[in-house]
Each structure stands twice: as structure tokens, then as C-alpha cells.
Amino acid sequence: MKLCQFYTSAQDRERDLARRVPVEARLGLLVGGMIVDLTDRAAKHHGLDDPQRAGVLTACIAGGEEWADFRAEIRSLGPAGGLDPAKVLFGPCILRPSQYLDFYAFEQHVMTMRKQRGFDTIVPEWYEIPAYYNSNATSFIGHGMTAHYPLGEDRMDYECEMACVIGRPVRNATAQTAAAAIVGYTILNDLSARGRQKKAMPINMGPAPGKDFASALGPYLVTKDEIRDLGALGMRAFVNGEQWTDGRYGAVKHSFESMVVFASAARTLFPGDVLGSGTVGGGCGAERQTFLKPGDTIRLEIDELGVLENRVEHDK
């Protein structure tokens, strides 16, 4: 299944993003190239009244047996009455997770960035644990939206990543329970303000000041049963139509399951939480020392997950 949150008016989307609660969002299912509106059907199935409909997507993926029953109910739906994806307004497939963790799991990217900082090797700890930082869970934007970088930022960058989404609460996970906790995958653009990041990194408090203004997510949450071979998925990025990235998820050192195991030690991950893979090798402008300019369009593609495209500008 390919699920999304979408809008039919820009005003509704703006209100939801301002309050960081998907009150106006519709729940969509991509069927035969069309988006079928599941909002009313899902709310009824899960017994949600109007004030609770804001959580209909999270309720679906966290529903356990109800989730399985709902999927069986909609499996035979066709595209009739659906909406053209080109004519709807996408929000992030998860608007406001309780937690957003971003990892650092591709060796090529790690090595390239360390060499730029004057280091010839990767520290051994990187191979031992899937390191992450806690990013801004209130910053997500959707496909087709403009990302606004901090004023004066002269090293605007993208990061081509995949993300997994948690579908059931998990704490102190094993490899088995970690795999069961992942409901699906989506495209993540970990947008980066490199000038701001570079200023903060010597303090050794992590990269978050260069990351917290925006991250793009979506457009679809693709359930894991739809993916034949996760490792085979190609990951590409284009800036104004020119290809800057050509990678593959299978090059990852730390799997999503290992990320869940490590991150859930004495910490509960909840339905809707987002875990980013980190940047695929060659997956950002910083690796080639070429940065974005205001007005540029960045397009990420991941096989079987879709396309995530955003324009970049400075904040007003």
C-alpha cells in the first residue's frame, strides 16, 4: 500500500503545518495511478469521531489486527473516483511524529565527509553502533512545497535518504521485534544549512542547528510488504534536472532493524516515529562541494517509493 496525506486547498495545508496537527489532511491510497480518499472509511473503521480524525493515519498503522482488517477491506479498491496526484497538494506522509531520529549509516558518505574535515579514517565506534541524533520532529514539509533556509545561509544543501516509519510501540527491541515494529518506508530529504552546521560542529553538540529548519518527507508511506528487495532500491537526486546523486540502499552499513534495536534501548519508539537512514554515498552537495541556490528545485527518487521534489529559498 502507498498511503499519503493530501489536501485540496493550500489554505488547509498551511493551517495544518502551522499547528503541526493534520486536522484538515485527507488520507489517500495510491491505486492505479490515482489517489483514492480513504479518510471517512478509515475513521469509521477505527471508530474515530471528528475531533480524532486528525490522527487517522497513525491510527491506521498502529491498529494491529484492526490495521490488517482495514487493509483487507480496501485491498479490492480500484482507481475509480480517485484524484490525479498532480492535482492534489501533498503534506508530509507523517506530519508530526513524536520522535524523528536521523542516523549516519552509509560508509561512503561518512568517509567523504571526514576527509573534508581532515581525517583519513572512520572511528571504529561507527562500525559498532548505528549512531544518530535527535532531529526536529516539527519541521516536516511535503512534496511540492518550498523549503525555507535560514537567512544568509550560503551553503544550502540536500541529503538523499530513506526513512522507516514505526507502526507499533517498541522498547528494548530485539532484531525480531524491531523488524515487526517497522510498518513501511518513505523518502527523506534531510535538508541542511551547511554554514550554520559548520559553525556549531566544533562545539561537539551535533549537527542539529544546521538541520532543524526543515526536512521533506514523502509523498507516500509505502508498507514494507510492497518492497520486494529493499537493498536493491536505487536512490537518486537531481538539481534543476541535473543528476547529482546515484546510489543504492543496499550499500548501507547499519540496517533499519539495527537502528530500532539501538535507539529503543530504555526508550520507547511510538507509531508514526521516523528514523532516517543517513545520506547515501554521493547523496548531498557537500560531497561534491556544490551547493544549492535560491530558486533551485531538488528532486529525490527512490525506486518503488516514488519522487519527492521541493524548491529551496531563503526565509523571509
| pLDDT, tens digit, 9 for 90 and up, residues 61-110 | 776 667 788 888 888 899 999 999 999 999 999 999 999 999 999 999 99
In this structure, the answer to whether residues 106 and 69 fall within a common structural domain is: no
Q: For 12-29, what is the mean pLDDT?
A: 93
Whether residue 75 is contained in a domain is answered as yes
**H helix or E strand, kind and range, residue 28:** strand 26-31
pLDDT score at 52: 58
Whether residue 172 is contained in a domain is answered as yes
pLDDT digits (tens, 9 = 90+) for 27-36: 999 999 999 9
Round the average pLDDT of the chain to a whole number and report it.
93
pLDDT score at 170: 97
Number of domains in the chain: 2
In this structure, the answer to whether residues 110 and 28 fall within a common structural domain is: no
Does the structure show a pLDDT above 90 at 154?
yes
In this structure, the answer to whether residues 267 and 141 fall within a common structural domain is: yes
Whether residue 295 is contained in a domain is answered as yes
CA 15, 19, 24, 30 torsion-angle sign:
positive
pLDDT score at 150: 96
pLDDT score at 54: 64
Whether residue 95 is contained in a domain is answered as no
Task: Give the end of a domain, one of 90, 120, 135.
Answer: 90
In this structure, the answer to whether residues 148 and 181 fall within a common structural domain is: yes
Of 16-25, 33-42, 239-248, highest mean pLDDT:
239-248
Q: For 98-125, what is the mean pLDDT?
A: 95
pLDDT score at 206: 81
Whether residue 48 is contained in a domain is answered as yes
List the CATH number of the domain containing 268.
3.90.850.10
**H helix or E strand, kind and range, residue 31:** strand 26-31
pLDDT-derived band at 123 (thresholds 50, 70, 90) equals: very high
Domain range for 45 is: 2-90
In this structure, the answer to whether residues 65 and 170 fall within a common structural domain is: no
Task: Give the end of a domain, one of 90, 125, 156.
Answer: 90
If you ran DSSP here, which 8-state letter would residue 85 be given? Answer: G
Task: Give the end of a domain, one of 90, 114, 132.
Answer: 90
In this structure, the answer to whether residues 157 and 50 fall within a common structural domain is: no
In this structure, the answer to whether residues 259 and 229 fall within a common structural domain is: yes
In this structure, the answer to whether residues 136 and 253 fall within a common structural domain is: yes
If you ran DSSP here, which 8-state letter would residue 279 be given? Answer: P
Q: For 195-206, what is the mean pLDDT?
A: 86
pLDDT score at 53: 65
In this structure, the answer to whether residues 56 and 105 fall within a common structural domain is: no
- Of 33-47, 111-125, 213-227, 255-269, give the lowest mean pLDDT range: 33-47
**H helix or E strand, kind and range, residue 42:** helix 39-45
Whether residue 305 is contained in a domain is answered as yes
String of DSSP letters for 118-165:
T-SS--HHHHHS--EEE--TT-EE-TTPEEEEPTT---EE-BEEEEEE
pLDDT score at 260: 98
Q: For 224-235, what is the mean pLDDT?
A: 96
Contact status, residue 37 vs residue 4, Cβ threshold 8 Å: no
Whether residue 218 is contained in a domain is answered as yes
- Of 66-75, 112-121, 270-279, 286-295, give the lowest mean pLDDT range: 66-75
In this structure, the answer to whether residues 38 and 113 fall within a common structural domain is: no
Whether residue 287 is contained in a domain is answered as yes
Supply 214's cell numbers.
Answer: 526543515
